[in-house]
Structure 1
Amino acid sequence: MAGYKLTTGSPALGAGVVAAEAGGRDYFGAVVPRADGKVNIGADNGSGVAAKVYGSLREAFNNVGISNDLNPKAGGISKSGRSFSGQALEAAGIKYPSATVGGVVFDWPQRYYGFPDNVKAAGQKIAVSGSGTKLAFLGAATFGTQSGAGVVNYTDGTSSGFTLSFGDFWAATAIPGNTQAAFMAYHNKPPTTYNNAATGRDEQDVRLWSTSVALDPGKTVASVTLPDVGGPLATAGIHVFAMEIA
Structure 2
Amino acid sequence: MNAHRPESAYGPEEDFLPPPVSLTVTPPAPEPGGSVTLAATLTNTTGIALRGTVLYLAVDDTGEPADLGRLAPGRSVTRTWRTRLADDAEGRIVFTAHALFDVHRHGSDCTRAGSSVVLPYRSLPGAFDNAGIASDDALSVADIDGSNSSLSAEALASVGLTPGAEVTYDGVTFTWPNTAPGNLDNVVSTGQTMLLSGSGSRLSFLGTSTWGEGRGDGRVVYADGTEQGFSVAVHDWYGTGPSAAVVVPYRHIATGQDDNPVSLFTFGVDLTAGKELGSLVLPKVGDGLQPGVPALHIFAMSIN
TM-score with structure 1 setting the length:
0.74
Q: Which string of whole-angstrom CA distances, capped at 9 and with x for unpartnered residues, describes residues 103-122 of structure 1?
A: 21112233411100000012
1:68 equivalent in structure 2? 135
Show the 5 A alignment for 1:121-136: 121-136=189-204
Q: Which string of whole-angstrom CA distances, capped at 9 and with x for unpartnered residues, describes residues 66-117 of structure 1?
A: 1111211111111221111111112112223222111211122334111000
Q: After TM superposition, give the deviation of residue 24 of structure 1 in Å.
A: 5.3
Q: Which string of whole-angstrom CA distances, capped at 9 and with x for unpartnered residues, describes residues 189-237 of structure 1?
A: 23x3xxxxxxx21112111111121111131112111022223324421
Contiguous gaps of at least 5 residues in structure 2: 1-16, 25-38, 43-112
Task: State the SS of the aligned residue for 1:88.
Answer: helix
User: For 1:110, which of 178, 181, 199 is the aligned residue?
Assistant: 178
Quick check: 1:186–1:204 contact (8 Å CA) kept in 2? yes
Please say if 1:154 is aligned against 2:218: no
Q: Which string of whole-angstrom CA distances, capped at 9 and with x for unpartnered residues, describes residues 15-74 of structure 1?
A: xxxxxx885543565579xxxxxxxxxx557xx85x411111001100011111121111
2:260 equivalent in structure 1? 204
User: For 2:297, which of 220, 239, 243 is the aligned residue?
Assistant: 239
**Larger proportion of strand:** 2
Letter in structure 2 aligned against 1:83: S
User: For 2:273, which of 214, 217, 220 is the aligned residue?
Assistant: 217
Quick check: 2:179–2:185 contact (8 Å CA) kept in 1? no
Task: State the SS of the aligned residue for 1:129.
Answer: coil
Please say if 1:26 is aligned against 2:5: no
Letter in structure 2 aligned against 1:244: S
Work out the CA distance in 2 between the residues paired with 1:22 and 1:158: 49
Work out the CA distance in 1 between the residues paired with 2:225 and 2:19: 42
Quick check: 2:240–2:247 contact (8 Å CA) kept in 1? no
Work out the CA distance in 1 between the residues paired with 2:278 and 2:299: 20
Please say if 1:230 is aligned against 2:286: yes
Structure with max Cα Rg: 2
Quick check: 1:129–1:220 contact (8 Å CA) kept in 2? yes
Aligned length: 202
Quick check: 1:154–1:220 contact (8 Å CA) kept in 2? yes
User: For 2:152, which of 85, 90, 97 is the aligned residue?
Assistant: 85
Work out the CA distance in 2 between the residues paired with 1:61 and 1:170: 22
Quick check: 1:73–1:189 contact (8 Å CA) kept in 2? no
Work out the CA distance in 2 between the residues paired with 1:94 and 1:228: 26
Contiguous gaps of at least 5 residues in structure 1: 1-20, 33-42, 193-199
Letter in structure 2 aligned against 1:53: P
Please say if 1:164 is aligned against 2:220: no
Letter in structure 1 aligned against 2:262: V
Quick check: 1:122–1:226 contact (8 Å CA) kept in 2? yes
Work out the CA distance in 2 between the residues paired with 1:22 and 1:188: 46
Work out the CA distance in 1 between the residues paired with 2:228 and 2:19: 44
Letter in structure 1 aligned against 2:300: A
Quick check: 1:186–1:201 contact (8 Å CA) kept in 2? yes
Quick check: 1:94–1:182 contact (8 Å CA) kept in 2? no
Please say if 1:139 is aligned against 2:203: no
